[in-house]
Amino acid sequence: MIPTFKYHPNPIETGAFIKGDAQECNCCGKQTDIWYESPFYSREEVDCLCPECIASGLAAEKFNGEFQDSYSVDEVSDPAKLEELTRRTPGYHGWQQEYWVAHCDDYCAFIGYVGWDDLVKMGIDKQIEESYGSNINGWDIETLKQDMSNNGGIQGYLFKCLHCGEYRLHIDCD
């Protein structure tokens, strides 16, 4: 069982954490069979972090690091939310630079990696179109419908607002 992360509720399913043979956490020194496998911005080389050291903020404090670049986020009014996102929330892998979206003055929960066909299967493609119109983060919606695929050249990153439940999308390409 891993701690609950408000802004990344399913970090094992998204690949932020890996399950395998026990390794030693570089932060607390305890053996863990679940460790962090996504970006960690620190001057020190860190190979293994357990979920508990991330959730408590101990890893970010000990290694003076961040799990999300604090400049690659939407703006929210409460600095404590940025602190929780960057220093106590596992990140995700992006093609270029990971970006965390916000809605209702709070960061959204990262749901996972998607192509347009995934949005259709989830039944949220129309909601995404209505939210963004013909342009999503500088991308023409028709191009995304044709070319955005999970693990493809144009990648979608799906988020969900914690307050109103609206889905939000970040787009990146290789």
pLDDT band at 14 (very low <50, low <70, confident <90, very high): very high
Q: Which two tokens stand for residue 146?
A: 């044709």
The owner of tokens 């929960």 is 109
Q: Is the dihedral of CA 115, 117, 122, 125 positive or negative?
A: positive
What whole-number distance in Å separates Cα of residue 48 and Cα of residue 35?
Answer: 6
pTM equals 0.94
User: Between the CA of residue 160 and those of 8, 64, 99, 109, 170, what are the distances in Å?
Assistant: 10, 29, 14, 5, 11
Q: Sketch the domain layout of the chain as residue ranges.
A: 1-93, 99-173
Under a CB-based contact definition with an 8 Å cutoff, are residues 82 and 67 in contact?
Answer: no
Q: Which position has the higher pLDDT, 13 or 135?
A: 13
> What are the respective helix, strand and coil percentages of the chain, to the nearest 5?
25, 25, 50
How do residues 68-123 score in pLDDT, each as one tens digit? 999 999 999 999 999 999 999 999 999 888 999 999 999 999 999 999 999 999 99
**How far lies 65's CA from each of 8, 9, 41, 88, in Å?**
18, 21, 5, 10
Do the bridges between strand 139-140 and strand 135-136 make them parallel or antiparallel, or are there none, so unpaired?
antiparallel
**pLDDT for position 95:** 85
What average pLDDT does this structure show over 121-142?
90
Tell me which residue of 110, 104, 112 sits closest to 163, measured CA to CA.
Answer: 104
Residue 93: is it exposed, middle or buried by C-beta count within 10 angstroms (0-12/13-18/19+)?
Answer: middle
